Structure 1
Amino acid sequence: MHRLRRRPATASRTTTGTVTAAGPADSVLLTVDGLRVTVADGRAEAVRGVSFEIRRGEAVGIVGESGSGKTLACRSVLGVLPPGCAVSGGSIDFAGSSLVELPRRAWEDLRGTRIAAVFQDPASYLNPSHTVGHQLSEQLRVKRRSSRREAHQTGVALLETMGLHEPEQVYRQYPHQLSGGMLQRVVLAIAVSGEPELLVADEATTALDVTIQAEVLELLARLRADRGLAVLAVSHDLAVITELCDRVLVFYAGELIETGPTAEVLDAPRHPYTEALLRVASVGNWERRTLDVIEGQPPPVGVAISGCRFADRCAFVTAQCRSGPVPLTGAGDGRAVRCVRAEEIVLSGAGVVA
């Protein structure tokens, strides 16, 4: 176990059609306000009124069980929701411009330049028929209008920046010739080749072994420091969020139920669900050969619940918890929690496995 470390936050607003140039460091880059996302062609609501901000150079993490709405929220920011899913309410503002109903041409100009993404399985995002250098240089030629020679030089330099040894050789290799860690570095090189202001990382380190995972996290930290890159990271691994992120958003059943500085939220959670996540993320009791679990199941997507959506699984539930909607309430020091008993109950952080 280790104690959670607090990272200091580092780090424009206009209107529609095209997204305008960067603002000053430490200004708000992304504002998501009251986001609602429906699935099954509008028959069920999977993200319910989620709001958060990301400042320039800041890393914000999203955690929660599968199906909690984490990836749908991120894909809404990227404008790449799956078929049958749609933003049904709220707003997404990037550098002062609305991303909701942004024209397709504007999205093509935005993605790969000012907003980029990396996902869990890098091999699935690379064409096995082309060398990684061809795919990296193609991105540079399309997004940065580089000449063939400039794209080659910049591509090799990017691969070297990503910590790949013998980058010229890697540039000429095909995806199947590289390991998973090397592929993730190649995908990162492609993602940052357009010099983005925001990187969305959805389970970007999940498939990597712990040594390579640590190297990729160090690489992301260096990109933030060198380029002022803001990061929106989704992960089931709380140790990854601890290492990378300044603030954390805890999702449950489509709602944001707790938020605040990462170290403070995970050291001293104020929502019973956050405490339960920390508990099940620990190593369990190996003397009894048991692992902790959260009893019960999340409510089905789209089901109407009048009170707290975690009530059926909560050890602290009372009649008040079920009596009506529970707002996300400020709890001081940049924290907020969606729990009517947050001031009454005492929870403890379980720590995170390094």
Structure 2
Amino acid sequence: MALDKANKSMTEKEFDEQEEYPKRNLITSTYQLITPQVASSTTVQGGSQQKAYVNMAETGDSIHQMTRELSLRRETSIASQHLKVIIIGEALARTYSLGKLVNEFLRDNEIRPSCLVLISKGRASDGLESKTAGEIPAFRLAGMVENAYRTTRILPPTSLIKLESNIESGTSFLLQNVLSANGEIKFAGAAIIKGKTNKMIGFLNEEELDGLTWITGKGKGGLVKSFDKKTGQLIVYEIESMKSHIEPHVKGNSISFNVHIESEGRLSENWVVSGNPLENQFLHKVQKNSEKKVKHLVRNTVEKMQKEYKVDVAGFGNQLRIKRPRVWMRVKDNWDQTFSEVPINYDVKLMIKDYGTSGSKK
């Protein structure tokens, strides 16, 4: 399902010209329904394959009522327990609290709490389109989160039950952002949800999400691309493991944090012709280059959180709550503002354990 700011389809407009039920036109819900006879085969008609799904839109002010309205337009009812993905459009997420938008989903005892929730930069309904015959966009979105072991630019999936926990906590958090263009989709950065309002206030771009993953230490894989200072040539470090430790320090009324980041990986690409990976001096230089890049990513992300949006979406407050609970009780009600003024120091250590088979010993 996709939720957007109201924008009636031509079909809805024609229906409403004949008869319209009492409602305010606030939200357009788009429902992606599988076409079973097409999804289970490769039916070809007129030389082109049919879509394995149909998207139907309803506009109104009650998500539950809009869902029931579909029963007036099709022969079978919607099976709520099969809902895989909910995409919420940027304009809607900036206007209404997520608590209101997902309230019906959380109350419905048929909808599975494992349902994935995403934000769309642009109209959410565009994320439910595909140019590939036989493909079901909702399944594609649900499957893409499994690629987190290959990149630091995919957030751990946010399910409905996790979203409810985030909303109830009152703390700011992130949702994976989806871009749509010409029937294609891409995960690109994350939407920032303000804890006090549960409304979207902005985005972290892909590099900033990169930096946030290093802060949290929740990455399962990915790359660090840097350039040799002397030659300007490309060097790529592939992450095999990462861990991060956020350490709060309290002195009187002053709070600060140290972020300790460690990673092991491999030299996966090297354009420095004079660089021999079998030489310790070269490997040391690559490590330092990659560490510098990670520090840059982390510093930019923290600056975005503290200076532009004034929110903590990296878990600094949670570490303060765990390790200094009395201090947390004193600052938690206005934590985002307090966090925006807190000093943060970074310590990054990367270790190259593998450099492939390319190199020669002189």
TM > 0.5 fold call? no
Shorter-normalised TM-score: what interval?
A: under 0.3
If the length of structure 2 is used for normalisation, what is the TM-score? 0.25
If the length of structure 1 is used for normalisation, what is the TM-score? 0.26
RCO greater where, 1 or 2, for CA within 8 Å and sep 6 or more? 1
